[in-house]
Structure 1
Amino acid sequence: MTGASHDVRRRAGWLPAEQAHLEAWLRGRRERLADRDPDQVLHPAVAALRDVIESDPVLRMEAHEMIAQVPSTGDYADRHLESVEELLELIDEVVRSAPEWGEEQMVMTPLDGVLDWTKSTPAGFAFYRDPRVNDAIREVLQAWCTFLSSPESADVIVDAPGGWRSDAARRAVGMDQFEHDPDDARWGFTSWNDFFTRRFRDGERPVAAPDDDAVVASPCEATPYRIAGGVRRRDEFWVKAEPYSLDEVLAGDESVDAFVGGTVWQAFLSALEYHRWHSPVSGTVRRAWVQPGTYFSEADAQGEAAVLPQRSQGYLAHVATRAIVLIEADDPTIGLVAVVFVGMSDVSSCVIGDGVEAGARVSKGDELGYFQFGGSSVCVLFGEGVVESFGLGAIPQAPDEEPSPLRVRSHLATVRRADD
């Protein structure tokens, strides 16, 4: 696939690094449909998505067209889909299973893999922005999340090919860093989501300069993507230059004024990394909420089929479902900080932690919540003139460099000190 080395989904391990491996995985999925019981009915949530498509002539047209059309970027060796019926059956198979381990053909976000072709067509751009489609997909994702939180979903945590207890998977995950029971058949995890939201062992991720309020900590274990300064209240976030538009990122919240002219730092989370969130500063929570948004929508910048997700990272911070936490820092030179946790691809449930609400006190490094299964991104917003410098590990890497995540609770930025 042209530009695959720039594709955030591939750099983060959500999809295979090579397009050929995704194609092989999809062929296997499609071949399995031949053995599907013809009398098997669709999961109720998938059937509801079918009914939404069939209830409106425009949606029905877009659904058929996004399969008939060929993505205008990317070297697709095979046609991924032949019909809407096949698409629905593939979705149905996904919501009844948990992701398996694989060194080459691993697809950590299988629903994203199934929809990959459709998302990057002109009809797909319109289809996935339709509120009715998003409502129906939300139900599909919630149904899948229910399965991934069930004991049955833990069956992939086994010491076998495709299992997460295999030696290769253990090394890739760095399991020794995480809390688990090595003697238990499922490492002590009760479900796939329990495994996905695993915690580090005590001492694995110390808080950067815990007694220095001028040092801001990374809220996630994430690879730096972009730093933008002088951000505006409103901007054309959908264009190729990918500016941030504060009104949309913060969903029209009254806090927008505090960030006009300020700085946005954004990073993306790897499929195999830690998916819990932590406070970047010590202070008081002003507000915390989950903002509903789109699922699987991508940017078609300036009329181009900008299907490579590096052109959609900033876009998704404005339109995707996301958790927004506003914290008034103890250090008055910092003031208000916004942390935006963006759900991307597959389940991507944004779960704000118990007690993280208006008036709650948090210390730098305290847990704020977590992503349940799915691809994800994070933004930290600062006011104008607040940031003095970013830590070396927080600087985005060149697209051709091997991505390296900034460790959670490590040095993200240094802000102006009160006596400067």
Structure 2
Amino acid sequence: MADGLSDDVKRRGGWLPSEQDDLESWLEGRTRRIEERAEAAALHPVIVEFRELIDTDPVVRMYMTRMIEEVPRSKPYGKRHLESVDQLLRLINDVLTLAPEFSEGSMITTPLAGILDWTMGTTAGFAAYRDPRINTMLKKVLDAWHQFLTSRDSLYVLNESESGWKSPQAQQVVGMTQYEHDPDDRYWGFTSWNDFFTRRFKPDARPVASPYDDSIIVSACESTPYKISLDVARRSRFWVKAQPYSLEDMLANDESVDQFVGGTVYQAFLSALNYHRWHSPVAGTVVRAFVQPGTYFSEADAEGRDAVEAMNSQAYLAHVATRAIILIRADNPVIGLMAVVPVGMVEVSTCVIDTKVVPGYHLEKGEELGCFQFGGSTECLVFRPGVIDEFAAAAIPQSDVPHPSAVRVRSKLATARTAHSPGEGKVG
């Protein structure tokens, strides 16, 4: 197994600020805002429903209360910002009409995770975010936020101010010249924040590597390598410290699981500024494609204090979080059946599979499969035993690089073996 991301990259990935002080400053500002608006701010119907659940279900109320009380034991915070369940609900209520703003050093791209961050690594929080009642309610909250982020009201952050996505600094950091947009339109031709978030590259920005060579497997996403695991088991204790992959859990007990036992899993994560669409790593035919419901803010308690950082729970999340599962039978018989598993992290409440990606549809290598919407994310590629000859150097997690680069989508990720290459999974 190769797993060599720096602690800083694992910790944030660009979704929350790298410095704790920046997150605390943001939270202090949000707290001050809800206190000033306490009388005037109406609660969204979904927050009213959440409050009613807490008031009427004693177990839910216990979890929600205790995870706030336990916060100081999990992380050395400079100041306590969460004091009560009511305050937590009002902070979430405030976010439901908030779109992420740009900030190169202290960006809060996932504001709900920013609010819940402190609770996610507590003993009560581990239980709360796995509880079906709370998880169902969080899904409703995320759906409500989704309604705002897909509305024109969310376009206010596409402006030229210092915190706007049209500012010169933001355009440079995002690399906006690579993306399709209308420079003459007030909002670049986008219809909502989410439309901007899922922006497309220009046709020539990410060419497909070796389009006619079926032995070359390309990157499904614009993502930074996290882990490569060989000889993966059918069932493992994915919730322990090492977070080994458990195929039957990752693939939601799909009938294909036995074909992948002993094979290879490649995982990589997407940062806040990455391209958020998925593409087929191979030319082949869709066998099955579905979205598996799961958790949203659950984290691996085996990580101890480090569990408060979602980036440290990525392998665990591949088994329990909401995710798309796309099975493709490659034209190259050596590759055969493979799986693409885009996984939603924290705020992601929607993994959208393209409507054309249905059983029997033939995909060209690099063809679009779907996209993540408005939040943090990671992705896994699953291969049968004996498929991979070697991974490209860029696809191998680097232990000696503090800020490794993302592997470009549709660039070379790995080479499949041939009849004359008996080995598998060389990673260096």
What band does the TM-score fall into relative to the shorter chain? over 0.9
> Where does residue 57 of structure 2 map in the other structure?
56
> Where does residue 221 of structure 1 map in the other structure?
222
Where does 1:56-75 land on structure 2 (aligned, <5 Å)? 56-75=57-76
Where does 1:203-352 land on structure 2 (aligned, <5 Å)? 203-301=204-302, 306-352=307-353
User: Aligned AA for 2:261?
Assistant: V
| 5+ long unaligned stretches in structure 1 | none
Partner Cα separation in structure 2 for residue 95 and residue 56 of structure 1: 24
- Detail structure 1 runs of 4+ shifted over 6 Å in the superposition: 302-305
Partner Cα separation in structure 2 for residue 225 and residue 304 of structure 1: 20
> Where does residue 34 of structure 2 map in the other structure?
33
User: Residues 393 and 400 of structure 1: is their aligned pair in 2 closer, same or farther, counting only changes over 3 Å?
Assistant: closer
Where does 1:126-205 land on structure 2 (aligned, <5 Å)? 126-205=127-206
Partner Cα separation in structure 1 for residue 106 and residue 403 of structure 2: 19
Deviation at 1:155, TM superposition (A): 1.1
User: Aligned AA for 2:112?
Assistant: L
Deviation at 1:71, TM superposition (A): 4.7
Deviation at 1:188, TM superposition (A): 1.1
Partner Cα separation in structure 1 for residue 368 and residue 9 of structure 2: 26
Partner Cα separation in structure 1 for residue 419 and residue 27 of structure 2: 56
User: Aligned AA for 1:74?
Assistant: K
User: Residues 310 and 141 of structure 1: is their aligned pair in 2 closer, same or farther, counting only changes over 3 Å?
Assistant: closer
Deviation at 1:44, TM superposition (A): 1.1
User: Aligned AA for 1:223?
Assistant: T
> What number of residue pairs does the alignment pair up?
417
User: Residues 64 and 390 of structure 1: is their aligned pair in 2 closer, same or farther, counting only changes over 3 Å?
Assistant: same
Partner Cα separation in structure 2 for residue 51 and residue 281 of structure 1: 49
The DSSP-based 3-state class of the residue aligned with 2:155 is: helix
Partner Cα separation in structure 2 for residue 180 and residue 303 of structure 1: 44
The DSSP-based 3-state class of the residue aligned with 1:342 is: strand
Partner Cα separation in structure 1 for residue 20 and residue 6 of structure 2: 10
- The root-mean-square deviation of aligned C-alpha atoms, in Å, is 1.6
User: Aligned AA for 1:19?
Assistant: Q
User: Aligned AA for 2:250?
Assistant: V
Deviation at 1:311, TM superposition (A): 3.2
Partner Cα separation in structure 2 for residue 71 and residue 219 of structure 1: 39
Partner Cα separation in structure 1 for residue 318 and residue 107 of structure 2: 26
User: Aligned AA for 1:365?
Assistant: G
> Where does residue 368 of structure 1 map in the other structure?
369
The DSSP-based 3-state class of the residue aligned with 2:328 is: strand
The DSSP-based 3-state class of the residue aligned with 1:254 is: coil
Deviation at 1:303, TM superposition (A): 6.6
Partner Cα separation in structure 1 for residue 181 and residue 53 of structure 2: 42
User: Residues 205 and 7 of structure 1: is their aligned pair in 2 closer, same or farther, counting only changes over 3 Å?
Assistant: same
Partner Cα separation in structure 2 for residue 406 and residue 303 of structure 1: 30
User: Residues 269 and 129 of structure 1: is their aligned pair in 2 closer, same or farther, counting only changes over 3 Å?
Assistant: same
Indicate whether 1:44 and 2:45 are aligned. yes
| TM-score of the two chains, using structure 1 as the length reference | 0.96
After TM superposition, the structure 1 stretch with the greater mean CA deviation from structure 2, 40-49 or 326-335, is 40-49
User: Aligned AA for 1:173?
Assistant: V
Partner Cα separation in structure 2 for residue 168 and residue 394 of structure 1: 29
| 5+ long unaligned stretches in structure 2 | 422-428
Report % sequence identity: 59
Whether contact under 8 Å (1:284, 1:330) holds in the other structure is: yes
User: Aligned AA for 1:13?
Assistant: G
Instruction: Give per-residue Cα distances to partners, 1:213-266, cap 9 Å, x unaligned.
Output: 010000000000000011000000000011000010000000101110000000
Whether contact under 8 Å (1:8, 1:309) holds in the other structure is: no
Instruction: Give per-residue Cα distances to partners, 1:64-95, cap 9 Å, x unaligned.
Output: 11111125443211112011111001101111
Partner Cα separation in structure 1 for residue 80 and residue 114 of structure 2: 13
User: Aligned AA for 2:333?
Assistant: P
> Where does residue 425 of structure 2 map in the other structure?
none
The DSSP-based 3-state class of the residue aligned with 1:53 is: helix
Whether contact under 8 Å (1:11, 1:403) holds in the other structure is: no
Whether contact under 8 Å (1:121, 1:305) holds in the other structure is: no
> Where does residue 96 of structure 2 map in the other structure?
95
The DSSP-based 3-state class of the residue aligned with 2:71 is: coil
| TM-score of the two chains, using structure 2 as the length reference | 0.94
Deviation at 1:385, TM superposition (A): 1.2
User: Residues 12 and 335 of structure 1: is their aligned pair in 2 closer, same or farther, counting only changes over 3 Å?
Assistant: same
Partner Cα separation in structure 1 for residue 64 and residue 292 of structure 2: 26
Deviation at 1:310, TM superposition (A): 4.0
User: Residues 332 and 245 of structure 1: is their aligned pair in 2 closer, same or farther, counting only changes over 3 Å?
Assistant: same
Whether contact under 8 Å (2:283, 2:365) holds in the other structure is: yes
Deviation at 1:46, TM superposition (A): 1.8
Whether contact under 8 Å (1:5, 1:11) holds in the other structure is: no
Partner Cα separation in structure 2 for residue 401 and residue 5 of structure 1: 5
Partner Cα separation in structure 2 for residue 102 and residue 303 of structure 1: 30
Deviation at 1:161, TM superposition (A): 2.4
User: Residues 330 and 182 of structure 1: is their aligned pair in 2 closer, same or farther, counting only changes over 3 Å?
Assistant: same
